[in-house]
Amino acid sequence: MPFLGIGLHVLVALFFAVHAIRSGQQIYWLLILFSFPLLGSIVYFFAIYMPNSGLEFGAKKVVAAAAKTLDPTRELREARTAFEYIPTAQNQMRLALALLETGNAEEAASNYEACLKGPFAADPEIKFCAARALTESGRYATAISHLQEIRNKDAGFRAAQVSLLLARAFAGAERHADAKTEFESAMHHFGGFEVAAEYAIWAYGNGDTAIASKLQSEIDQQMKRWNSHTKDINRALLRRLNAAKGQ
């Protein structure tokens, strides 16, 4: 039994080591994982794997969806009031995020870009959120620039989300070869419903029926296991997917 336990620790460490290599993490993670298989795996899970997987993101989406249902504009009102009262960079970032989450992408982008001109100019989280707002408001070239800069400086930062958003920005900019390459990479390294759905939307829009059909089949299989909360969270994306199918 002790031998089996040690073996399992090593297998878990090996799993995370493969993830570290495929997602471009720093090489010291391999030393940590193989020097301390159990403790290293626990640290890697909470520090790297969970934040870059759909687990934490999905949990946050459930909480956010519940709050929006009760009072959709509460956070925006409070964030705007806080920024008007104390116009700090932190309050402006809060306002920008609230604007983005309520569909005011253009105003959100303007606020994020203002934050990037100050002491937080190199902050990857702000750059990522700015890229989200820029993509939603159709300013794809600037979004691509931010995302590529993030990847060049820290390939492990929000790797799954950066890859998917970059693919969408390439698609919006009509750089379809780059979009396909990035979607394929996101599917290979991260997978998940959101990646498959966005890739399928792109494929339907570009008449690539072979890819669209394959992805749709995978999506249909995933949806069979969904509960009501998962359906609610992904309702907007499903509407976009169904609209793309009907083109």
**Amino acid at position 174, single letter:** E
Confidence band for 2, pLDDT divided at 50, 70 and 90:
very low
Work out the mean pLDDT of the chain and round it to a whole number. 86
Structure tokens belonging to residue 40: 């290293």
| Domain end call among 143, 160, 191 | 191
Confidence band for 240, pLDDT divided at 50, 70 and 90:
very high
* Dihedral pair phi/psi, residue 82, rounded to 5°: -65, -40
Q: Is the confidence at residue 55, as pLDDT, over 60?
A: no
Alpha carbons 74 and 55: distance in angstroms, whole number: 26
Domain count, the chain: 2
Claim to verify: residue 24 and residue 67 sit in the same structural domain:
no
Claim to verify: residue 59 and residue 41 sit in the same structural domain:
no
Please give the torsion angle defined by the CA atoms of residues 35, 38, 41 and 47, in that order, rounded to the nearest 10 degrees: -100
| Residue 132 within a domain | yes
SS3 annotation, 77-121: HHHHHHHHHCCCHHHHHHHHHHHHHCCCHHHHHHHHHHHCCCCCC
Claim to verify: residue 87 and residue 183 sit in the same structural domain:
yes
Claim to verify: residue 170 and residue 69 sit in the same structural domain:
yes
Render pLDDT for 77-126 as a digit per residue (tens, 0 to 9). Answer: 999 999 999 999 899 999 999 999 898 999 999 999 999 987 888 899 99
| Structural domain span for residue 111 | 54-191
Claim to verify: residue 34 and residue 142 sit in the same structural domain:
no
Residue 77, classified by CB atoms within 10 Å of its CB into exposed (0-12), middle (13-18) or buried (19+), is exposed
| Residue 98 within a domain | yes
Alpha carbons 204 and 45: distance in angstroms, whole number: 36
Alpha carbons 163 and 170: distance in angstroms, whole number: 11
Residue 56's pLDDT is 52
Residue 62's pLDDT is 54
Claim to verify: residue 69 and residue 102 sit in the same structural domain:
yes
Render pLDDT for 171-225 as a digit per residue (tens, 0 to 9). Answer: 999 999 999 999 999 999 999 999 999 999 999 999 999 999 999 999 999 998 8
Alpha carbons 147 and 128: distance in angstroms, whole number: 7
- Residue 180 DSSP one-character state: H
Residue 219's pLDDT is 94
| Residue 242 within a domain | no
Q: In Å, what is the CA distance from 101 to each residue of 76, 109, 217, 232?
A: 9, 12, 30, 16
| Residue 114 within a domain | yes
| Domain end call among 191, 208, 226 | 191
Give the best-scoring range by mean pLDDT among 4-13, 76-85, 140-149. Answer: 140-149
Q: Return the CATH number at 137.
A: 1.25.40.10
Alpha carbons 132 and 168: distance in angstroms, whole number: 10
Residue 3's pLDDT is 43
| Residue 244 within a domain | no
Residue 4's pLDDT is 46
Claim to verify: residue 113 and residue 155 sit in the same structural domain:
yes
3-class state of residue 190 by DSSP: coil
Mean pLDDT lowest for which of 7-11, 38-42, 98-102?
7-11
| Residue 215 within a domain | no
Claim to verify: residue 29 and residue 66 sit in the same structural domain:
no
